[in-house]
Amino acid sequence: MKSSQKINKRNVIICLTFLMILVMIPVSVAWFVNGKENQAAAIEGKSVSLPYELAVLSSANKGAVSYNQSGEGASYQALLINDMVGATNAADGNLEEYSYVDGESVRTGEFYTTDEEFKNIIWRLEADGNANGIAPGCCGNLTFYIRPKQDGDMVVSISLELEGYRADVALNENLSFHAENLQKIEPGDAEEQAACYLKHHILFFREWTGAQEDAESPFYYKGFIEDGNLELVLTDCTKDRLIPVTIYWIWPKTFAQLTCISSQGNLADSSPNADVAGEATVSDLREYTIRCADELFASDDMIEEMANSSETGGETVYTFDPDKAKANLKDISYAFDCADQEIGTKIQYFLLRLTAE
Tens digit of each residue's pLDDT (9 = 90 or more) over 129-149: 655 678 899 998 889 999 999
Q: How confident is the model at residue 47 (pLDDT cuts 50, 70, 90)?
A: very low
How would DSSP label each residue in 108-152?
Answer: EEEEEE--SS--EEEE---BTTBTB---TT-EEEEEEEEEESSSE
Residue type, 202: I
| Residue 173, CB-side half-sphere exposure with 13 Å CA sphere | 8
Q: What is the pLDDT of residue 13?
A: 31
Q: Does residue 64 contact residue 148 with C-beta atoms inside 8 Å?
A: no
If DSSP codes are grouped into helix, strand and coil, which group holds residue 336? helix
| Pairing mode, strands 94-102 and 241-250 | parallel
Residues in the chain: 357
Compute the average pLDDT of residues 324-335.
97
pLDDT at 280 over 90: yes
Rounded CA separation 107/100 (Å) = 5
Among 88-102, 200-214, 281-295, 310-324, top mean pLDDT goes to 281-295
* Residue closest to 262 by CA, chosen among 296, 219, 217, 301: 219
Q: What is the pLDDT of residue 4?
A: 38
- In sequence order, which residues have a C-beta less than 8 Å from that of residue 114 and are 6 or more positions away? 43, 47, 53, 54, 55, 93, 120, 121, 356
pLDDT at 48 over 60: no
Q: How confident is the model at residue 85 (pLDDT cuts 50, 70, 90)?
A: confident
Q: How confident is the model at residue 62 (pLDDT cuts 50, 70, 90)?
A: low
| Pairing mode, strands 152-171 and 220-224 | unpaired
Q: What is the pLDDT of residue 38?
A: 40
Q: What is the pLDDT of residue 183?
A: 92
Q: How far is CA 196 from CA 201, 244, 346, in A?
A: 9, 29, 11
Mean pLDDT across the chain, nearest whole number?
81
**pLDDT tens figures, 219-277:** 899 999 999 999 999 999 999 999 999 999 999 999 999 999 999 899 999 999 899 99
**pLDDT tens figures, 139-192:** 988 899 999 999 999 999 999 999 999 999 888 887 778 888 989 999 999 999
Q: What percent of the chain has pLDDT over 70?
A: 80
